[in-house]
Amino acid sequence: FFLMIRRPPRSTQSRSSAASDVYKRQFLMNLHIEDRPIYLTRHGGTPFIQNSIIGGDPSLAEEGRLYGEYLGKFFESEMEQGSLKGRESVRLMTSTMKRAKETIQHIKLPCEPLYLKFLDEINAGVADSLSIHEFKEKYPEEYGERQRAVSYTHLTLPTIYSVQISVVAVSLKKK
What confidence tens digit (pLDDT) does each residue in 125-144 have? 888 889 989 989 998 888 88
Which one has a higher pLDDT value, 26 or 129? 129
**Pair type for strands 93-94 and 114-115:** parallel
Question: Using 50, 70 and 90 to split pLDDT, how confident is the model at 4?
Answer: very low
Nearest to 58 by CA among 45, 76, 71: 45
- CA gap 142, 132 in Å, rounded: 11
Q: What is the pLDDT of residue 174?
A: 56
Nearest to 159 by CA among 10, 26, 11: 26
- What percentage of residues in the chain have a pLDDT greater than 70? 64
Residue 124 in this model has a pLDDT that exceeds 50: yes
CB pairs under 8 A, 24+ apart, for 137-144?
Answer: none
Residue 91 in this model has a pLDDT that exceeds 90: no
User: What pTM does this model have?
Assistant: 0.65
Span of 10-19, 85-94, 114-123 with lowest mean pLDDT: 10-19
Span of 22-36, 39-53, 96-110, 125-139 with lowest mean pLDDT: 22-36
Q: What is the pLDDT of residue 35?
A: 67
- CA gap 8, 14 in Å, rounded: 10
